[in-house]
Chains A and B, each alone.
Chain A
Amino acid sequence: MSTLLDVDNLWVKFPTRNGIFDAVRGVSFSLGRERLGIVGESGSGKSLTGRAILRLIRNPGIVEAGHISLHGENLLDKSEKDMRAIRGEKISMVMQDPKFSLNPVMTVGDQIIEAYRLHAKASKSEAYKKSVEMLEAVAIRDPKRVMKAYPHEMSGGMGQRIMIAMMLIPNPEILIADEPTSALDVSVQGQVLSIMDKLVKDRGMGLLFISHDLNLVSQFCDRVLIMYSGRIVEVCDADKLHEAQHPYTKGLLGSLPKFDEPSDRLQVLTRDPAWRDAPSVEGRA
């Protein structure tokens, strides 16, 4: 499998009053044309890993890494201007809640057209046509009406599909999906995921799927990285998640209720301080 993205020894640090806080501590992994899941609890550094790849960690955060390479080119060496050509066009990101991630005072159409025209030399009418097609591709009914609508007039599921359309319209190679379904009703989660899955597969993209939902990730992804406290503690194939070895992964799985083996009490996850200091596992395929 060809490697699209390779991350080597990534650190994300935040200076605080009590010294430097390491939010991500030496994470290495690679992403091919596959669906790679990153699972972890809040504060495990999974979202920051995604944002660090796009170099979107704002001041005063510090990103350090051996390299973050896209097709062998180190993104850390790029100027801000070169990065702008990569964001959206090569690597894109869908965020958690469409209520906040869409601009409330711009029409849906303007926002999608803008995303397209930033990277493609296209006239307004071409961009409009392309945007309508893209909305159709994410199963939006009556896309011409939606183009004229404002984000607050959309439901959460529609909003997230619009977000996916907007992020995929410049035809990127990698999509980072940062908890894309966490803000949605369970009833529309499946629909949004299958639309995203289909588009990613058809275009042969790499998907980095960040989530806290183990079950979802095991069903949806090819490979899973389990993060804890800024490090990768375990890497496994998604379909072999139940064979996981690490006590943290086992603990997480054990704390979920199972329909096929009901039990009176669920396990409580007890965290071993030694996990924090164990070296990071390499997440390369």
Chain B
Amino acid sequence: MSSTHYNPKRQPRLPLPSWLKGTLVTLASISVTMLGLLFVTFFIGRVMPIEPVLAVVGERATQEQYHAAYLELGLDKPLIVQFSYYVWDVLHGDFGMSLLTARPVSDDIGRVFPATMELATIGITIGIVLGVPLGVIAAVRRGSWIDQIARVVALVGYSMPIFWLGLMGLLLFYGVLGWVGGPGRQGIFYEDMIPSVTGMILVDSALARDWGAFRDAFSHIILPASLLGYYSLAYISRMTRSFMLEQLSAEYVTTARVKGMSEWAVVWRHAFRNIRVQLITVIALSYANLLEGSVLTEIIFSWPGIGNYLTTALLSADMNAVLGATVVVGLIFICLNIFSDLLYKIFDPRSK
């Protein structure tokens, strides 16, 4: 060949704008992850030593009833076909009936998840608002008394059993001082008084402009949320401290000092901006952990959340409820991951 000019292999390219491409890639990755999650939960459900038909028809059913239910559940079909039915149902928001509550699992989750969401959101907010500054200050004043106090606070948060702290908190702030409401989400007086819109009582009562109910709900949520907040504060502040220490010894921090910047500006304008991406990862993980439902806290405070629901369902072999709740928890993790990926792109110019 005499022609020597460069002729790269042509790649088929779809004529799509880049944002659309990005969205499609994200959607594809969500669906693949979701499918994997459904696959795992489905097969866990099948290998559990629970007879699904008996769980539905009860032990006294006749052979005919049993057989009818067996066909109804599609158990005569191959596993892969059963799986496709399962996926189809889940895509339509149908997780089956809960044996325990005798209601659709999706309704149950719609009721318990907002309760957890409300608790977790206030908890993580407390954790961020107090934990991040505490960690930054501990790093800046490394070795000082503030650093030591921050260390003790975090250590206590890590190592104290949360159920014990919860009980002591109830004893002191509810039992003795009477500053906060007791277990449960609301006082008896306000129960079912607020029309449910989002399922989060604080939001619903604010929407209904019922400030009495709002105060009541707040007095019930503040203690468990503070406990969860303290727990995430311990983790967030330690991680913030170590991220900051790494940045404060970086050369660009010296540059900022050479420019004549104040220490405050060096820390927050320069060093802190560089830990945002790492911090988002830590916060997203803590938040996901709280959203999963903190079983011990929910049980102690009689909080009707998803942790409580999942545990009760598990203990009474209510498989539809267990699988449904697991899928929801998994979905939360996936969503938070995607959300933090989005934030990375905003905060770190190198990831573009």
Which residues in B have their C-beta under 8 angstroms from that of A36? none
Identity of the chain A residue whose Cβ is nearest the Cβ of B263 in the assembled complex: A80
Contact yes or no, B260 A118, CB < 8 A: yes
Per-residue B-contact encoding for A218-257, CB less than 8 Å = 1, 0 else = 0000000000000000000000000000000000000000
Assign chain A's interface to a size class: 20 to 34
- Report if A102-B252 is in contact (Cβ < 8 Å); known contacts: A150-B350, A152-B349: yes
- Cα-based distance from A46 to B261 in the complex (angstroms): 24
Contact yes or no, A56 B261, CB < 8 A: no
Contact yes or no, A104 B350, CB < 8 A: yes
Contact yes or no, B255 A92, CB < 8 A: no
- Cα-based distance from A278 to B7 in the complex (angstroms): 69
Per-residue B-contact encoding for A92-106, CB less than 8 Å = 1, 0 else = 110111001111111
Contact yes or no, A118 B255, CB < 8 A: no
Identity of the chain B residue whose Cβ is nearest the Cβ of A97 in the assembled complex: B251
Q: Judge if B250 is at the interface, Cβ distance under 8 Å.
A: yes
Q: Judge if A25 is at the interface, Cβ distance under 8 Å.
A: no
Contact yes or no, B254 A95, CB < 8 A: yes
Q: State which residues 7-32 of B face A: CB under 8 Å.
A: none
Contact yes or no, A93 B251, CB < 8 A: no
Contact yes or no, A101 B254, CB < 8 A: yes
Which residues in B have their C-beta under 8 angstroms from that of A205? none
Per-residue B-contact encoding for A65-81, CB less than 8 Å = 1, 0 else = 00000000000000000
Which residues in A have their C-beta under 8 angstroms from that of B251? 95-97, 100-101
Q: Judge if A40 is at the interface, Cβ distance under 8 Å.
A: no
CB distance from B247 to the nearest CB of A (A): 10
Q: Judge if B270 is at the interface, Cβ distance under 8 Å.
A: yes
Q: State which residues 263-303 of B face A: CB under 8 Å.
A: 269-270, 273-274, 276
- Report if A103-B255 is in contact (Cβ < 8 Å); known contacts: A150-B349, A150-B350, A152-B349: yes
Contact yes or no, A87 B274, CB < 8 A: no
CB distance from B280 to the nearest CB of A (A): 13
Which residues in A have their C-beta under 8 angstroms from that of B269? 114
CB distance from B239 to the nearest CB of A (A): 19
Contact yes or no, A105 B348, CB < 8 A: yes
Which residues in B have their C-beta under 8 angstroms from that of A95? 251, 254-255, 258
- Cα-based distance from A81 to B299 in the complex (angstroms): 54
- Cα-based distance from A106 to B265 in the complex (angstroms): 14
CB distance from A216 to the nearest CB of B (A): 21
Within 8 Å by CB of B259, from A97, A106, A115, lies: A115
Contact yes or no, A87 B347, CB < 8 A: no
Contact yes or no, A100 B259, CB < 8 A: no
- Report if A87-B349 is in contact (Cβ < 8 Å); known contacts: A101-B252, A101-B254, A103-B270: no
Q: Judge if B90 is at the interface, Cβ distance under 8 Å.
A: no
- Report if A100-B250 is in contact (Cβ < 8 Å); known contacts: A105-B349, A150-B349, A152-B350: yes
Contact yes or no, A54 B273, CB < 8 A: no
- Cα-based distance from A137 to B331 in the complex (angstroms): 55
- Report if A105-B254 is in contact (Cβ < 8 Å); known contacts: A86-B260, A88-B260: no
Q: Judge if B207 is at the interface, Cβ distance under 8 Å.
A: no
Q: Judge if B256 is at the interface, Cβ distance under 8 Å.
A: yes
- Cα-based distance from A167 to B258 in the complex (angstroms): 8
- Report if A101-B255 is in contact (Cβ < 8 Å); known contacts: A84-B261, A106-B273: yes
Q: Judge if A119 is at the interface, Cβ distance under 8 Å.
A: yes
Which residues in B have their C-beta under 8 angstroms from that of A119? 260
Q: Judge if B316 is at the interface, Cβ distance under 8 Å.
A: no
CB distance from A48 to the nearest CB of B (A): 13
Q: Judge if A89 is at the interface, Cβ distance under 8 Å.
A: yes
Q: Judge if A85 is at the interface, Cβ distance under 8 Å.
A: yes
Q: Judge if B257 is at the interface, Cβ distance under 8 Å.
A: yes
CB distance from B310 to the nearest CB of A (A): 40
Which residues in A have their C-beta under 8 angstroms from that of B348? 105
Q: State which residues 212-264 of B face A: CB under 8 Å.
A: 250-252, 254-262
- Cα-based distance from A170 to B274 in the complex (angstroms): 25
- Cα-based distance from A173 to B27 in the complex (angstroms): 57
Contact yes or no, A85 B260, CB < 8 A: yes
- Cα-based distance from A167 to B347 in the complex (angstroms): 26
Which residues in A have their C-beta under 8 angstroms from that of B260? 84-89, 118-119, 170
CB distance from A153 to the nearest CB of B (A): 8
- Cα-based distance from A104 to B347 in the complex (angstroms): 11
Contact yes or no, A87 B252, CB < 8 A: no
- Report if A103-B256 is in contact (Cβ < 8 Å); known contacts: A84-B261, A97-B251, A118-B261: yes
CB distance from B297 to the nearest CB of A (A): 36
CB distance from A80 to the nearest CB of B (A): 8
Contact yes or no, B262 A104, CB < 8 A: no
Contact yes or no, B258 A87, CB < 8 A: yes
Identity of the chain B residue whose Cβ is nearest the Cβ of A114 in the assembled complex: B259
- Cα-based distance from A92 to B260 in the complex (angstroms): 9
Which residues in B have their C-beta under 8 angstroms from that of A93? 258
- Cα-based distance from A92 to B258 in the complex (angstroms): 6
Contact yes or no, B347 A105, CB < 8 A: yes
Which residues in A have their C-beta under 8 angstroms from that of B257? 56, 87
Identity of the chain B residue whose Cβ is nearest the Cβ of A90 in the assembled complex: B260
Within 8 Å by CB of B274, from A54, A103, A152, A167, lies: A103
Contact yes or no, B252 A104, CB < 8 A: yes
The 3 A-B pairs of least Cβ separation, nearest first, read: A88-B260, A100-B251, A87-B260
Given contacts A89-B260, A105-B347, 16 further A-B contacts (CB under 8 A): A84-B261, A85-B260, A88-B259, A101-B251, A102-B255, A104-B252, A104-B350, A106-B270, A114-B259, A114-B261, A114-B269, A115-B259, A118-B259, A150-B350, A163-B255, A170-B260
> Can you list 17 A-B contacts with CB-CB less than 8 angstroms, sorted by A residue number?
A87-B259, A95-B251, A100-B250, A100-B251, A101-B252, A102-B255, A103-B255, A103-B274, A104-B350, A105-B274, A105-B348, A105-B349, A114-B259, A114-B261, A114-B269, A118-B261, A163-B255
